[in-house]
């Protein structure tokens, strides 16, 4: 008796590759295109973002000088490493260190203010100084705080923040402060510490 050899055909996915693989590739390609379109939609700026142009400074300067006046008299001269002028908002932003020299009604120098940054209200000529603010008067007093405001109309400097004042006779700490530009006529609203300078 002869035994016939049976030929067994095993199933192989590769045998159907010409049918299934193109279909799978089309599905993957469709998903990829959909994802790319979704990402592109997120990256595109919205129409409202174009309005940011309204906040673009009208002028930018380096090593700039601003003069404060009252009734024609110079009350202060400000110098800043970098300024941004926003004409529509009537403000000027200051950074890269600022220095302000203050003068009295007789145009005599009274004190100098330094800070890391600040802002000027161009309509009122009021000044806001921020970060490591130091005022040194010609009479020998020193004021240190983190924020300080100059109101041009009243010719006063003031702050609600913590302050430290050192004079030839005393050292004072407190919260809330107001003074003229010479630091002679000053008020600390809440004194928290007071001492004589070292060696006095």
> Can you list the alpha helix ranges (DSSP code H) found in the chain?
17-43
CA distance 125 to 157: 13
pLDDT digits (tens, 9 = 90+) for 70-123: 888 899 999 999 999 999 999 999 999 999 999 998 899 999 999 999 999 999
| Contact in structure between 125 and 152 (CB atoms under 8 Å) | yes
Interatomic CA distance for residues 130 and 91, integer angstroms: 15
pLDDT attached to residue 53: 44
Quickly tell me which residue has 């050192």 as its tokens.
166
3-state DSSP of 115-162: ECEEEEECCCCEEEEEEEEEEEECCCCEEEEEEEEEECCCCEEEEEEE
What are residue 197's phi and psi, to 5 degrees? Answer: -60, 155
Helix or strand (DSSP H, E) at 177: strand 171-180
CB 169 within 8 A of CB 197: yes
Q: Do the strands 117-121 and 142-151 form a parallel or antiparallel pair, or are they unpaired?
A: unpaired
pLDDT at residue 26 in the model = 52
Q: What is the pTM of this model?
A: 0.69
pLDDT given for residue 24 in this prediction: 52
Q: How would you write the pLDDT of the chain (200 residues) with one tens digit per residue?
A: 333 433 334 434 444 444 444 555 455 555 555 444 444 443 333 332 223 345 789 999 999 999 988 888 899 999 999 999 999 999 999 999 999 999 998 899 999 999 999 999 999 999 999 999 999 999 999 999 999 999 988 999 999 999 999 998 899 999 999 999 999 999 999 999 888 766 55
């Amino acid at each position: 008796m002869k035994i016939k050899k049976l030929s067994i055909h095993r199933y192989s996915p590769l045998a159907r590759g010409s049918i299934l693989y193109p279909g799978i590739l089309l599905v993957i390609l469709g998903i990829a295109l959909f994802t790319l379109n979704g990402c592109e939609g997120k990256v595109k700026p919205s129409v409202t973002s174009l309005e940011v142009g309204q906040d673009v400074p009208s002028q930018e300067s380096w090593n700039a000088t601003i003069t404060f006046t009252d009734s024609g008299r110079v009350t202060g001269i400000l110098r800043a490493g970098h300024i941004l002028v926003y004409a529509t908002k009537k403000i000027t932003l200051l950074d890269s260190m600022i220095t302000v020299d203050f003068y009295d009604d007789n145009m005599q120098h009274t004190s100098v203010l330094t800070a890391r940054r600040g802002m000027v209200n161009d309509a009122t000529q009021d000044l806001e100084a921020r970060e490591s603010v130091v005022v040194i008067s010609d009479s020998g007093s020193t004021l240190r705080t983190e924020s300080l405001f100059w109101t041009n109309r009243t010719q006063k400097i003031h702050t609600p923040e913590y302050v430290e004042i050192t004079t030839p006779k005393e050292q004072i700490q407190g919260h809330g402060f107001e003074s003229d530009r010479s630091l002679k006529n000053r008020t600390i609203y809440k004194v928290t510490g007071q001492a004589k300078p070292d060696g006095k």
